[in-house]
Structure 1
Amino acid sequence: MDQQATYQSDSLSLEAESDGQMQPATWSDYLHLTKPGITLSNLLTTFTGYWLAVFTFGYKLELHTLVLTLLGTAFVIASGATLNNYWDRELDAKMKRTKNRGLASGRIHPRNALAIGIALLVAGLIVLALFANPLTAVLGLLGHIFYVLIYTPLKRVTTLNTVIGGISGAIPPLIGWAAVTNNVEMGAWVLFLILFLWQPPHFLALAMLKTEEYRAGGIPMLPVVKGFAETKRQMFNYAAPMVPASLLLMLYANLGYVYLATALILGIGYLYILLKGFKAEDDLVWARKAFSYSLIYLTVLCFAIIVSAL
């Protein structure tokens, strides 16, 4: 974002406030600045990584370390979401689903959001380094860099933004695992691979649903640039190797037949839905089903790992 655009955005906010037209920011505005839904979903995968490492290697479950690892990770993820909102505030103002966000509407001053984002990052890294181990802090910072400094600007210039953003989204289970072993063994990397492959089909389905908004905002998401047919092809291309990757986890972690059956059923169901997309009569109806199933897939797979690891 250039300095002139930043100045204009700040000036509009101040002008609106001075005219008495702008409502003050609420606690809800600040909460949504951190994208709590994304934070919670990432904490589920962090917990999964921690839990799996404990029972794979026979470590003692230390509740205080688990809680502080989740807290530190939550701070880092919330920081990334806040700073992403900070950089995207002008783009958000152009799209219907985001134009009423606190920053995009001007209720939250950009300087306040920037300060909150930096404070959350520092707090999260300190908590991870002191109460888990320095490796978890390094992983958290790496994920933060990919999300804020690489994914966010690339969203404006390339359709590969979704794939690159998948790197940051796949790091939370590494943090959870490393908090236990102070290392990143092969089982952790398989978790990373599963999460990395899961994200493009998930977010591309959402991009299909919001294509016209992304087009209005000038964001080169894949459905905008190359259409629905290519988007569906790439969704399948990422999901197809995700299924064997989910089974590969059994070679490096303490998992049983409950996990095996669940992963197979979930994977086959996901591929079936994605294949049906090639002949879908209504692409948006199909995309909504694919998006919903992707959430079910990840949630149930994580719980299957947690239960089977016991």
Structure 2
Amino acid sequence: MKDGSRVVVVRPPFSESWAFFVRKFDIPNASLEQLVTGDNAELPIQLLSYLMKGSRITSITGSQGSGKTTLLMAMVGHIYPTYTLRVQEMAFELHLRNIYSRRNILSFRETERVTGQEGLDVQKKTDGTVNILGEVASDGVASWMIQMSQIASLFTVFTHHAKTFKDLVFSLRNSLLKSGVFQNEYIAEQQVVQTINFDIHMKRDASGNRYIERITECIPKEETTLLFKEEGTNTLKQMLGQLLDLNTEHYRRLNDRSAFVSRNIVEYRDGVYVAGAPISPQNVEEMSEQMSPQDADLFRDFVSVHWRNNYEY
């Protein structure tokens, strides 16, 4: 509709009766300050801003109606204006050109003749710096999102219906396997976790209040190759001890096939946003490199205030 609402109409025999659903989006008030409320709301608001300025590949997850699309609209405002944005949607819902009319933004949608996967392929030829996916809902779009995040754009922001971060990783991993991009589960999972930097999980309680339940950082595991130390002076007892250690490590890796560690950076506890685990030094460094010098200094002050004694500059 003209005001950006989404309308769905159903009729028999598909449904038992005629029905229509109108989904409203509060486009004029799509700002982080309006959307994120509660005690210490400045913490997640500032962090979301720095994630965009730091060019982090970010997912926004949550159930239907939890506020993922509206939050995505607001987060776009914190991407540097010099970046060109390319948007892929199933239906035009974000209306980013209406909100940010002075920016280089172009949206694409799926049609009967053009699939989401083909649309993403075309986007690579449109000089887009940032890719935004309204919803990763199909295996083809998921696999292309992973590939484009790695090689075709500076960073990507997308939404997904996953309930937990582990569900998000497994869902994207399975999409890579189904689409035939990978055949090995562990390698496919590695590709996913090396792509996603942060996950923002939205939630709506029984009273209808929407809030950010957690902001999670994804840290890929780095495992070294198992080596057997060859020294001419080793005794038989020492060699058997090394062999036992190698076997123990081998079986540990077989039983623990997870390719990532997830840490909650910010959590919503009893109506208050609190700082959790510190952001990894690697992400702090990479984010600072993508920011302007002034924003980089403010970001370092931000992490030093909320996660004291965890960083050295």
Shorter-chain TM-score above 0.5: no
Query: More strand by proportion, 1 or 2?
Result: 2
TM-score by length of 1: 0.28
Bigger fraction of residues in helix: 1
Q: Tell me the TM-score normalised to structure 2 length.
A: 0.28
Max Rg structure: 2
